[in-house]
Amino acid sequence: MAEMEEPMVVDGVGGGSCEWEGRWNHVTKFLERSGPFTHPDFEPSTEALSGFRNIDVVDMDTIDVSNLNRQFLFRSKDVGRPKADVAADFINSRIPGCRVVPHFKKIQDLDETFYRRFHIIVCGLDSIVARRWMNGMLISLLVYEDGEVDQTSIIPLVDGGTEGFKGNARVILPGLTACIDCTLELYPPQINFPMCTIATMPRLPEHCIEYVRILLWPKEMPFGDAIALDGDDPEHIQWVFQRSLERAAEFSITGVTYRLTQGEHKTAHLLPVCVLTTLFSAFCDAAACATEVFKLATSAYVPLCNYMVFNDVDGLYTYTFEAERKENCSACSQIPQDLGFSPSSTLQEVLNYLTESVSLQMKSPAITAKVEGKSKTLYLQSVASIEQRTRPNLSKTLRDLGLKDGQELAVADVTSPQTMLFRLCFTS
């Protein structure tokens, strides 16, 4: 992913040694004249010169040989180095005057003081959890006055993504237009399951496969020490498949197949012939995102409203639609979410709802409640000792846990930097 800091710099004439005759000609064509598609408020100016000068890029990966075929920033000599560093070096040396600052980190390692500095954020993330986290971060930066969002606190999010031959690009104005969580139903159902379900009470074939992948593989190391599970290796998949079948039989679960095992590993099993086309999808997507950033930064054109999909499986197909805001979106609405449960429901049922509901799709929710004036952790799975201590609560009923009708529950999850508040509404 990349963020843009001060994305548009208005450059005076003769802006230093890195300028040359005609450098901005292609951009001035858009900025110095009006046209049928220009933004209604746009005033062409002969002084406007563009250039995204200050860019920060955050990426937690290092370059692998398999990364070399679908991009143009990395070379074989760069294998093993952080992607962010190499991309920054490449652009800094190629584009005079551009300053790219790399951060070899997870996006979650940076806080709101960092993100607040930017005018536009561009995400090219491969995980929905990370997208939702960034979405939640930008929503947390919004300032509300009398229930209205202060427009100066909005940092637009341009989100792009490709998978194989498909891609999408979308423009999100947090607090104004549909956010990632508003359209969560568009994403495939969750691939991560709560660890306790995987470890102790599998119910679905996917739970059995995850058990083998996450817990059994590192324990048994079937192909030797330090050999990571390779989704492209049929022998590895076969091993996972066999063990998953055994696990499923143990719990009388049906539906574990080789294909599901493969899919669960989310392998993009690329054939060489596909590489060019997936490269094409990735470039289309990058171009769409860059165009949107240009439009947002210059106000020259009306930004994408607000969701574009494309598909180059068979010819090239693109389609644009307006994703609608969800009135009670758990991330961007100001409305507290109600949780309707009977007092005799167990905490496990609440946990299942949080992870399985298509509109929430949480990964490992930690639930706390104020009981008799004190904040009490009801369940938390990310720290093993606390998980062990709070696990007995899962089988208790809400009534036995001392929870009341109208009670506020605070839920923290990796899908958002913010704690989400729910109100418990007892149903009879």
Q: Which residues are catalytic?
A: 196
In the complex, least distance from residue 110 CB atom to Zn ion, rounded to whole angstroms: 22
The residue (of 137 and 253) whose beta carbon lies closer to Zn ion is 137
Residues 6+ apart with CB under 8 A from 93: none
Q: Is 354 in the site for Zn ion (CB under 5 A)?
A: no
| Sole binder of Zn ion in the list 4, 31, 155, 179 (CB under 5 A) | 179
State yes or no: residue 184 binds Zn ion (CB under 5 A): no
Dist. CA 230–CA 414, nearest whole Å: 25
Could you say which of 4, 157, 332, 378 contacts Zn ion (CB under 5 A)?
332
Q: How far is the CB of 178 from Zn ion (least distance, A)?
A: 6
Per CB under 5 A, the list member of 11, 181, 210, 285 interacting with Zn ion is 181
Q: What own/partner pairs with CB < 8 Å and gap ≥ 24 does 329-332 have?
A: 329/179, 329/181, 329/182, 330/181, 330/359, 330/360, 330/420, 331/132, 331/135, 331/136, 331/139, 331/179, 331/180, 331/181, 331/182, 331/416, 332/135, 332/139, 332/174, 332/175, 332/179, 332/181, 332/182
Q: Is 88 or 329 the residue whose CB approaches Zn ion more closely?
A: 329
| Amino acid at site 230 | D
Q: Which of residues 87, 107, 289, 331 is near Zn ion by CB under 5 A?
A: 331
Size of the site for Zn ion (CB under 5 A): 6
The smaller minimum CB distance to Zn ion, of residues 212 and 332, is found at 332
CB 107 within 8 A of CB 1: yes
C-alpha pair distances (Å), 304 with each of 27, 28, 133, 254, 286: 19, 21, 22, 45, 14
Choose the stretch contacting Zn ion; rule: CB under 5 A; options: 74-82, 158-166, 230-238, 328-336: 328-336
CB of 406 within 8 A of CB of 425? yes
Residue 128 lies near Zn ion (rule: CB under 5 A):
no
* Shortest distance (Å) from residue 40 CB to Zn ion: 26
Stretch of 193-201, 263-271, 325-333, 363-371 contacting Zn ion, by CB under 5 A: 325-333
Please identify which residue in the block is written with the tokens 């929503």.
Answer: 139
Provide φ and ψ at 371, rounded to 5°. Answer: -120, 120
Span from 31-39, 331-339, 344-352, 416-424 in contact with Zn ion (CB under 5 A): 331-339
Q: CB under 5 A: which stretch of 55-63, 207-215, 326-334, 414-422 binds Zn ion?
A: 326-334
Among 48, 154, 182, 366, binds Zn ion (CB under 5 A): 182
103 has which bridge partners? 58
Give least dist CB 296 to Zn ion, A: 19
Considering only 329, 360, 394, 398, the residue that binds Zn ion (CB under 5 A) is: 329
Which residues of this protein are in contact with Zn ion, per CB under 5 A? 179, 181-182, 329, 331-332
